[in-house]
Every structure is written in structure tokens, then in C-alpha cells.
Structure 1
Amino acid sequence: MIKEKLIRARKDKKFSQLDIAEHLNISQTQYLRKEKGEIEIKDDEWERIAKLLDIEVDEIKEEDSSRINQFFDVSGEYKNSYIGSNNNYCNIPEFLLESQREYMEILKQEIQQLKEKVSQLENQNK
């Protein structure tokens, strides 16, 4: 659940996501995920953010009731037919991915060379 009250208060006070992230000693990306509701904002973090914004916690805090409601219908019965996404997305810089691809190619070549050596040794022992 997007933290609309928090976002509105942060923008009203002219704070960037990076400002809040640095105050919490986390990355801007991690803070963004907290604002989007992907990561829980802990009580102590709510307090620190409220203090930085010079407002009361209840002016910005929104409960994550949507996560509970995803699994229970209005009668409180558990919904076992819930269809959701378990996809987790990470922003990995392309240069890291490329270096990993290159490393995997090197490992594939080394594996092939080792297989050839094993095959040669087996043929010598026959």
C-alpha cells in the first residue's frame, strides 16, 4: 500500500526521498520501496521520519491492512483462492550483469577444457 500521507508530508516539507533515506541510514531505493509499501516501515522509523518532518507520527503513518485483506474476505474467512504475484524485481546495473555473463562464459570454457583433459586421461588409461 502506497504511503500517500507520508509522501504528501515529505513533499510539503520539501524533503527528497534521498533526504529521508540518509536520515534513516538506508539507500534511496530502499526508502522508495518503503514508501511504495513493498517493505514495512518499522515503528522507530516512523518516529524518526516524523521527527525529521516536524510532525506527529499519526499524521503520516498508514497501517498495512491491505496485506492482511489480501488473504481474508469481508467475512474474515481465509481466501485460499488468492492469486497474487510473488515476483521480486531488483534493479541491477547492466555493467554488473555483463561482467557476470563474461565470468560465466569463462567458466563454461574452463569446464569444457577440464572435460577434454578428463577424456584424454581416460583414453590414456585404456
Structure 2
Amino acid sequence: MMIHEKLRNLRKQKGMSQEKMAKILSTDPSNYSRKERGEVKIHDDEWQKLADALEVPVEDIKEEKELKMVHNDNSTFNDHSGNYYNQHFNIPNVLLDSLQDYITILKEQNALLKQENEELKNKLKVTEE
């Protein structure tokens, strides 16, 4: 079970609102909601506060979020300077999925623009003849 599901389910079982949990973490409800959904990092001290409020051990609610390993073979990063050479980057799945969705949208828009461009070129040819 993902972090946000465990946290949300346990919070609901205990009859606690997101607003109350936000107060416990000294944050606003929208930020707490993002933490509960796994969009914003929950820091170690916050895990402890949440566990105390829910009356459970931290280990019962805290899990390491799964990260995808991305190896960047771009020559810009492989400049042998020692800063980025052969380094792997941890990128959360939610970010990768979001970027992939955005790329798909851009590809669709690009195809439509290419089609429109061809249609306009053909119209221009007809008017020139």
C-alpha cells in the first residue's frame, strides 16, 4: 500500500480531519493534503508527529517512496568534470508520469500544427496558381 493510502486510511479510521492533521504539522490543509497524496515530502519530524497523533509507531505509516532510477547519457552531463559523470538521478514516479503525459500532449499538438501547416501551404499554392 502506498504511503498516502496508509496515512489517509489510518487518519479516517481515527476520525481525524485533514485540517486537524495540518494543525498538528503546523501547516495549512492544502499542504497537508499534498503530503498525504505523496506529492510533497513528509520530513522525519513530521512522520513522528503524525504517528503520535494517530497513536501508532512511525514504522506503521512510514514507507520509502518508490523512485525510478534514470541514467542520463546526455553528453552535456558526461563532460568528465566529475560533477555529473555517470551519475544516476532519483526522480519520483509521479513526476515522471506527469512529464510523460505532458510529452504526449505536446506530440499531439505538434501533429495538429504540422497538419495545419500543410493545409495552409496547399491553400497558398492554389492561390499562387
Shorter-chain TM-score tier:
0.5 to 0.7
Q: Which has the higher Rg, Structure 1 or Structure 2?
A: 1
| Aligned match of 2:51 | 50
User: Structure 1 runs of 4+ off > 3 angstroms?
Assistant: none
Q: TM-score, normalised by structure 2?
A: 0.52
Q: Distance in 1 between matches of 2:33 and 2:18?
A: 7
Q: Which amino acid aligns with 2:98?
A: S
Determine the structure 2 residue equivalent to 1:85.
Answer: 98
Match of 1:20 in 2: 21
TM-aligned CA distance change 1:69 to 1:32, over 3 Å = same
User: Compared with structure 1, are the counterparts of its residues 71 and 56 closer, same or farther at alpha carbon in structure 2 (3 Å cutoff)?
Assistant: same
Shift of 1:85: 2.8
Aligned-residue sequence identity (percent) comes to 40
- Residues 1:83 and 1:9: Cα distance change in structure 2 (over 3 Å): closer
What is the CA-CA distance between 1:63 and the residue it aligns to? 1.4
1:39 aligns with 2:40: yes
Contact map agreement 1:3 1:62 (CA 8 A) in 2: no
Shift in CA distance, 2/46, structure 1 to aligned 2, threshold 3 Å: closer
Cα deviation 1:68-119 (Å, max 9, x = unaligned) = 22637xxxxx69xx96435xxxxxxxxxxxxxxxxxxxxxxxxxxxxxxxxx
Structure 1 gaps of 5+ residues are 73-77, 87-126
**Equivalent-residue separation in structure 1 for 2:69 and 2:34 (angstroms):** 19
Tell whether the 8 Å contact from 2:47 to 2:62 is kept in structure 1 after alignment.
Answer: yes
What are structure 2's unaligned runs of at least 5 residues?
Answer: 72-87, 90-94, 100-129
- 1:64 deviates by 1.2
1:69 pairs with 2:82: no
Q: Report how many aligned residue pairs link the two structures.
A: 78
**Alpha-carbon distance, 1:62 to partner:** 2.2
Instruction: Please give the root-mean-square deviation of Cα atoms over the aligned residues, in Å.
Output: 2.6
